Amino acid sequence: MLSLYNAINATSYDNLDDVIVTELEDAINKAINECIDEEIIDEIKESE
């Protein structure tokens, strides 16, 4: 996995602990949750 990361990012890490790997599924879930949070905050502000 580290060799793939290095190839994609043009890096030369040799210790997996030196990099942070975020899976696409995690990134998508985080983005969705942030959007939902923003919608809830907007609705609260509108109701005040």
Q: Which helix (H) or strand (E) holds 36?
A: helix 24-47
Domain of 34, in residue numbers? 20-48
Q: What is the pLDDT of residue 43?
A: 87
CA distances in angstroms from 37 to 8, 23, 24, 45, 48, listed in the order given: 32, 21, 20, 12, 17
- In a domain, residue 37? The reply is yes
Does any domain span residue 5? no
**39 in any annotated domain:** yes
Domain count, the chain: 1
What is residue 37's predicted lDDT score, i.e. its pLDDT? 87
CB 47 within 8 A of CB 40: no
Predicted local distance difference test score (pLDDT) of residue 1: 79
Assigned domain for 9 exists: no
Q: From first to last of the 48 residues of the chain, give the pLDDT tens digit.
A: 789 888 988 999 999 888 887 778 877 888 888 888 888 888 888 888
Residue 14 lies in a domain: no
- Alpha-carbon distance of 5 to 3, in angstroms, equals 5
Task: Give a yes or no: residue 1 inside a domain.
Answer: no
Query: What's the chain's length in residues?
Result: 48
